[in-house]
Every structure is written in C-alpha cells, then in structure tokens.
Structure 1
Amino acid sequence: MTCLKMNCQEFMARYRAAKPGTAVMLDVRNNEEVAQGMLSNAVHIPLGELGSRQAELDKSKEIFLYCRSGNRTQMALEILKDAGFPNVICSIQGGYDLLKTL
C-alpha cells in the first residue's frame, strides 16, 4: 500500500508522470467551491459523499486527492485507506489555489 503526502509541486509532477489511464485526480471540495473552478480532468466527489461513492473509483489506479487547503485530503486519505485503496496520494500544502497555477 502506498499512501503519500506531498507538496503541490511534487504532487503535480507525479500526476503528470503517470501513464495515461493509471491515475485519477479527485477533488474532495464541496459543491460551492467546485462551482468556482476545478482542475481539468478531475473527478469531483465531495468529502461528505466519499464513503458512499467510493465504488465510482477504480482501486487499481493511483488516486490523487486535493481540496482547498489540504485538511480534507487527510480525511479522504483515511476513508480510502480504510476501504482498501492501495495507492492514494494527497496534496497537503497549498490546495486548489496553488495547484491551478502549476
């Protein structure tokens, strides 16, 4: 099991280096925040719905988590780890506002 926590620069570099079809960018912010914008190709599942919607995610792929500041990614990481997702990577510094500039 790989569960990594990294800064935004490392996070985006690893996501971009992933082979096509092997990674999912997951936005766990709430609907109001996502209405202001989200990263291209990201899947949106609000943190509060992640437990009931985790079946929408493929456990064979690396899951890249982000939120506004990093706090919700920590909680989402625990939910996915407990559900048996083996490869979860989360951005813990900067969140969406920094990620969208990279």
Structure 2
Amino acid sequence: MGIFSSIFGTSDQTKLAEVINEGAFLVDVRSPGEFSSGSVKGAVNIPLDSLQQQLTKFKGKQNIVVFCRSGNRSSMAKSILSQHGYPDVVDGGTWQNVNKVLTQ
C-alpha cells in the first residue's frame, strides 16, 4: 500500500466513485463566490453557513456528496447532515477531487 492510499484510503475513493455513478446529489459547501469561480458539473451550491437552514433540499436524496476547497468544510457538512438524520453522506473532500472522480 502506498503512502497516499495509507493516509487517505482507497475505500473512500471507491465509495465516492460508486455513489457518483449512482447519481448522487453533489453539494458544494463553499461560498457563492468560490462556487462561481469553478465547481463540479451538476453540483448545487449550499454554503456551509446556511446548510442547517436548507436541510429540506436534502430530503429524499439517496446519496449525498459534499465537498469544498480543502476538505475542512465538507467534513463539517457531513457531520451536520448526519446529526440531522442523513446517514448516506460521503465527504468528497475537495471539489477538484470530486471532479476528477466524476470525469474518470
């Protein structure tokens, strides 16, 4: 196992690819300004600071992928969503990571 996969794990990337291929709800939790400068095709922008006020947008979604610039906000978003009863949330890390998986 390489250093990269031992740190980040391959199962997370495999799970990310699976849920994206199944049509996951892609959520960019960065600010609107960051989102407008580039994001993942098909993603919606729900900034982390307004996530709790927009929980209804997640209702009925089978799989959810959250992502941001560095992975910090997406980790917080996953925790918030899990606390509000959304168990099928994958932290995609950076938007570039999600984009890479999406375009493979």
TM-score (norm 2): 0.74
Runs of 5+ unmatched residues, structure 2: 1-10
CA distance in structure 2 between the aligned counterparts of 1:99 and 1:60, rounded to whole angstroms: 18
Runs (4+) off by over 4 Å? none
Q: Which of the pair is proportionally richer in helix? A: 2
Corresponding position: 1:100 with 2:104: no
SS of residue matched to 1:100? helix
Assess if the C-alpha contact under 8 Å between 1:59 and 1:86 holds in 2: no
1:39-72 per-position Cα deviation (integer Å, ceiling 9, x unaligned):
1111110000001101111244100111011000
May I ask how many residue pairs the two structures share in their alignment? 91
Runs of 5+ unmatched residues, structure 1: none
- Cα distance 1:76–1:16, how it changes in 2: closer, same or farther (>3 A)? closer
Specify which structure has the bigger relative contact order, considering alpha-carbon pairs within 8 angstroms and separated by 6 or more residues.
1
Calculate percent identity across the aligned residue pairs: 30
| Residue number in structure 2 paired with 1:36 | 37
SS of residue matched to 2:51? helix
- Cα distance 1:55–1:97, how it changes in 2: closer, same or farther (>3 A)? same
1:52-93 per-position Cα deviation (integer Å, ceiling 9, x unaligned):
10111124410011101100011001110110002000123x
Q: Which of the pair is proportionally richer in strand? A: 1
TM-score (norm 1): 0.76
